[in-house]
Structure 1
Amino acid sequence: MPEFFPWWVAVTHFLNLFFLLLLARSGLEVLSAFPKLYWYDNCPPGREWLRFSKKMYGADSRKPWTSLDEEEAWTPLIALPGKKNIGLGRHWHFMSVQFWILTGLVYIVLVFATGYWHYLIPTHWSIIPDSINSLGTYLHFQIPSKIPGEPFEPAQKLTYFIIIFLLAPFQVLTGAAMSPSVLARFPWYGKIFHGKQGARSLHFLGLVAFAVFTVIHVFMVLIHDVPKEAASIVLANQDANGIEAIIIGCAGLFLILVLHVVITWFSLRYRRRTQRMLGVMVNPFERVISKSFLSRERFHSKDISPYFRVNGYPPTGEHYEQLAEEGFQDYRLPIGGLVDHPVSLSLADLRGLGGQSQITKHNCIQGWTAVAQWGGVPLARIIELVGPQERAKHIVFYAFDDKGLTEGEGRYGFFYGSIPVHLATNPQSILALEMNGEPLPIEHGAPVRVRLETQLGFKMVKWVCAIEFIEDYRDIGMGQGGWREDQQYYANAAGI
């Protein structure tokens, strides 16, 4: 039999704690952007099963509101980094999950390579009644006996098996079920968890399960022989000096606390640097998913959501309001840049290019979802019409929306977004002119909005006033590829 507490268990135990805490805090930052949990992807206001906000909005509210009004600013004491920074929170979450999974894989390989799995994986159903007996012993304020020849009693062994081999993979699987690229490419996968909202709720419950386990785990260490347990967990040696192990263990916990304080402070103080540093590890993965996965979503008219949230208030500029009053009759969409045939198209011209209709699920970066039918012009036909030059690698969509007026919060400038040209050639990438069989409503982007079904909603620019083909998005705005990326530190690729 292998050692009861080998050194690699102590090392991976420490790393697991560090990365799990990063995941939990950054996950709470993501949750704060839409602090409501649903079991259905329609996300009807007021029908959530759990809410972490005092704000109440209704589908029939007389006062206009948008999903951004539902966002909460949680304290950096619990959220990473806190204070309405979903962009940086997502960066930390997706960076941490890579290292957490890597730590877990190393641990699993060593578990089976060394034979340690004998201590973790039950081999007989008797573990269940034995575990119940162990719990009864605890309830009688006694310590149950360990399994002969093993370091754990039955309840411990069963719990560790559940946490390591069931709960941890469950968190990874439910996390993947919230990716718009994964859901669009593999619609069947989301159905396993009852849609994205089901996966989101289960993912949160998984976090709660980890938190409960951690509390109970610490309590169990305290009621057992603390010096001996500390020697095993910290120094991987039951016979080591227990007091020394406690001191080293407390120093390790203090180090984790200090690292989290520094990480939080740095993220809030140097947001652009944080975006760029974490982007080195996060962005390549997002780009690969965005490039590799094509949408295969096919919903039916019965799946269309009765209520579709609005994200952001419509433009308030005089020119846009005049166009809207006249039904956008004089609207023209200039398309130029690095193209051989620049054009300026009216809505009639756009419709004349041929239409496409699709019923798809919208995935907002905040976390809410809704299904709608979109009709419009495939972006592939726009590409054929204007003939991009070889140097053209990205497409920029400019909006009428002056965010300094419609959003504020210290941010400014007209909204824009960019995508790589290859994304525009996807079968379900369109310039939408209609929604649910009617002309596109103003609140949802009239007269023209972008639809990219493998991406998060912020990439689907609304109220489009111009399109430009460019070589490098770093020459536009603040150089991050879009207004949200510039001002709120989002990732440029948005497939997860």
Structure 2
Amino acid sequence: MRRRTGWLPVALAVVAGVALLGGVVLVAIWLRAQPTVQEFIARYPGTTPLPEGAPVGIPAWLGWQHFLNGFFLVLLVRSGLLLRKGGRPPARWVRGNEGLIRTKNPPWKVSIHLWLHYTVDVLWVANGIVFIVLLVVTGQWMRIVPTSADVWPNAVSAGLQYASLDWPVEHAWVNYNSLQLLTYFAIVFVVAPLAVLTGLRLSSVWPQGADRVNRVYTRALAKAVHYPVMLAFVAFVIVHVTLVFATGALRNLDAMYASRDDASWLGFAIFAVSLAAMIGAWFAVRPAVLKPIASLTGTVSR
């Protein structure tokens, strides 16, 4: 009888990942000991000045947006993984073409997991639109949009400082370092729109009769991009949360969740409640919970 070795690839991947990270840290420490690199870091400390008139601090609405984006992202990843897993769905959701979105496509009849994915997509996009509007209206866009060419060498400097485990000196309440700025910009203005555009192409809302567009922008292309985009979100969350806790958890959480430039336990408490809500949402994605909710907007059948 052959022994199962399903754990072996996972163990090897973990070992390889730890070895790779260790190698990166050692190389970064060696580089920082070189006079040329020290001069580079002295010239580009990792942060670029904000434009004149940029707001200071993190407003309360940004904390709520942070939670809602995370909450919806959890449900999108959960439902997306269930859809990728395939198999027979536990239930199907059906509605006609009447409603807010009118198309020439046949009436929707989708798995309840796809219904969840579509529903959360709409909420996530709506929340994202509110987020962009508030960024522009309040001037917070200046904190996550590059406005100087110096952002690039400063981002390299910040990355080198992170990799060597000697964190860059920063005060996120006033200004993000350049690597954070570029990362947030990419997530908000590149990765999120890619998720929306590829998701639309794969959905029933997409016009099937648009032959000219569909020949160029194929389902295969959208599918090939959509899953890596999800992985990019997951990787961002893992790194983001890790650095939040590694670079001063109480102060970072107080700024984001309590809108305070302090290091009290209030921000941590709010974060803990929001984390519990996200974990609860992950485990709530089951037919017993989804069917009654889905039946409010259509017909649910086995």
Would you say same fold, with TM above 0.5? yes
Alpha-carbon deviation of 1:271?
6.0
**Equivalent residue in structure 2 for 1:2, among 49, 52, 55:** 55
8 Å contact 2:173–2:261 — kept in the other structure? Answer: no
Matched residue, 1:269: 288
Show structure 1 runs of 5+ residues with no match.
34-70, 75-85, 280-479, 488-496
Q: Secondary structure at the match of 1:277?
A: coil
Matched residue, 1:198: 221
**Equivalent residue in structure 2 for 1:20, among 70, 73, 79:** 73
Question: Matches of 2:290 and 2:235 in 1, distance apart?
Answer: 32
Change beyond 3 A, Cα 1:278–1:15? farther
Matched residue, 1:244: 266
Alignment of 1:309-388 (within 5 A): none
Matched residue, 1:140: 164
**Equivalent residue in structure 1 for 2:133, among 92, 96, 109:** 109
Question: Matches of 1:271 and 1:156 in 2, distance apart?
Answer: 37
Q: Report whether the alignment pairs 1:161 with 2:185.
A: yes
Alpha-carbon deviation of 1:5?
0.7
8 Å contact 2:75–2:281 — kept in the other structure? Answer: no
Larger radius of gyration, structure 1 or 2?
1
Alignment of 1:225-304 (within 5 A): 225-239=248-262, 241-261=263-283, 263-264=284-285, 267-269=286-288, 272-279=291-298
Which amino acid in the other structure matches residue 197 of structure 1? A
Q: Report whether the alignment pairs 1:185 with 2:219.
A: no
8 Å contact 2:161–2:168 — kept in the other structure? Answer: yes
Which amino acid in the other structure matches residue 243 of structure 1? W
Q: What TM-score does the superposition give when structure 2 sets the normalisation length?
A: 0.69
8 Å contact 1:119–1:157 — kept in the other structure? Answer: yes
Matched residue, 2:145: 121
Which amino acid in the other structure matches residue 206 of structure 1? V
Change beyond 3 A, Cα 1:117–1:272? closer
Runs of 4 or more consecutive aligned structure 1 residues displaced over 6 Å after TM superposition: none
State how many pairs are aligned.
230
Q: Report whether the alignment pairs 1:88 with 2:141.
A: no
| Residues 139-148 or 121-130, more deviating | 139-148
Matched residue, 1:369: none
**Equivalent residue in structure 1 for 2:301, among 471, 478, 486:** 486
Change beyond 3 A, Cα 1:209–1:72? farther
Alpha-carbon deviation of 1:278?
4.7
8 Å contact 1:183–1:189 — kept in the other structure? Answer: no
Higher relative contact order (CA 8 A, sep 6+): 2
| Residues 128-137 or 15-24, more deviating | 128-137
Could you tell me the percent identity over the aligned residues? 25
Q: What TM-score does the superposition give when structure 1 sets the normalisation length?
A: 0.43
Matched residue, 2:234: 211
8 Å contact 1:12–1:107 — kept in the other structure? Answer: yes
Question: Matches of 1:230 and 1:148 in 2, distance apart?
Answer: 11
8 Å contact 1:19–1:99 — kept in the other structure? Answer: yes
Which amino acid in the other structure matches residue 20 of structure 1? L
Matched residue, 1:222: 245
Q: Secondary structure at the match of 2:233?
A: helix
Show structure 2 runs of 5+ residues with no match.
1-53, 91-109
Which amino acid in the other structure matches residue 19 of structure 1? F
Question: Matches of 2:62 and 2:172 in 1, distance apart?
Answer: 21
Question: Matches of 2:114 and 2:259 in 1, distance apart?
Answer: 35
1:153-210 per-residue CA deviation (whole Å, 9 max, x = no partner) reads: 00000000000011101100011111355252323444454x1022112100000000
**Equivalent residue in structure 1 for 2:195, among 161, 168, 171:** 171
Alpha-carbon deviation of 1:149?
9.2
1:433-484 per-residue CA deviation (whole Å, 9 max, x = no partner) reads: xxxxxxxxxxxxxxxxxxxxxxxxxxxxxxxxxxxxxxxxxxxxxxx5xxxx
Change beyond 3 A, Cα 1:235–1:176? same
More strand as a share of residues: 1
